[in-house]
Amino acid sequence: MSSSARNFIRRLPKAELHVHLEGSVTPELLLELGRKYSSEYAQLSLQEIRTRLFQYENFSAFLNTYRVVCEHLREPADYLMVLEHLLHGFQEQNIRYAEVIYTPSIAWKMGRDGKAILMQLLDRCTRFHPTSAISIHWILDCVRQWGREAADKTAHLAEEFRGRGVKAIGLGGDENSLPLEGYRETFAWARAHGLFCHVHAGETGGPEQVWGAIHVLGANRIGHGFQAARDAGLMEYLREHALGLDICLTSNIKTRAWGLLSSHPFQLLYRRGVPVTLNTDDPGLFETSLPQEYEKAAQLGLQRSDLARIALQSVQSAFLAHPEKTALMQQFQDEIYQLGKEDAETLG
């Protein structure tokens, strides 16, 4: 890729719609946490941590690393450290808007106070926003294999803090575990209380999981969803109903959810008019960034105009009220227009 193309991607205004806070722990942060708590990883080198934990033979190996990372997040200060790292990355990557996914049920399951952690995260973002051009909102995720009781608790927590930056309830975890039907009432309650619904589907499961996320849970946006490319009718439905897919290229390759980047169905979905966005998913665990995701899309044949269109789609797919979305869209359009103008002047 040329330096001018990389520079265009760097300067492009971006929105990140699918980034897990827990998955933002880098090898360096895990080593720091390991030393803090004198865990078995405290004496390892960074390279040993990368080799043992940050390379994945399959999706199960990735989930094991996720578990290890979460075991090291023991108090609000640990989560805040990860958030600080994430916010710094947003600034460096020219990310103007982000929806960060936090899973309180992980904290609860490990004996932590998930609500206290959330409150401190929200307080930090409140202090961050006036001094930055970046707007941060939150999705509270449920873990599919852990059942409805934890999901209901998550939904009520999301509703309690809906006016403080929490926008949605999500469903992540193993999509091949419990049936979606078991969460129908939880997500209906969430929608009735003004929350958006975000569902991981069509990553390790097939197109039927995406259909279920839509018709059973009323999903407003799908996390991953690239398996929709196997169903022409589903792609048409997503296009007609403007239902977005959060595409995470590096994630799909590193977890072995998909084989090769060169054959990833992202470009097919985009060319069919499915609303797709680019995201990092777990930037710490995959050691990636949003500009790198845009670079991978360019490797698949997308041009600068396509990348700009995807950046705008990220705003369109965001869980924002119409006035906020309109203002952010105008900001993105103005900056993208200026980028194009500067490129034309350089070529001239």
Q: How many residues would you count in the chain?
A: 348
- 8 A C-beta contact, residue 197 and residue 190: yes
Angle between helices 114-128 and 76-92 (to 10 degrees): 30
Residue 203 a catalytic site member: yes
CA-to-CA dists, residue 88 to 179, 187, 244, angstroms: 38, 33, 27
Q: Which residues pair with 244 in a beta bridge?
A: 221
Residue 244 has φ and ψ, to the nearest 5°, of -80, 150
CA angle (222, 225, 230) in 5-degree steps: 140
Find the helix or strand (DSSP H, E) in which 19 lies: strand 14-20
* Tokens standing for residue 216: 């059973």
DSSP-derived letter for residue 23 is: G
Residues 175, 203, 293, 295: which is the catalytic one? 203
Q: Which residues are catalytic?
A: 203
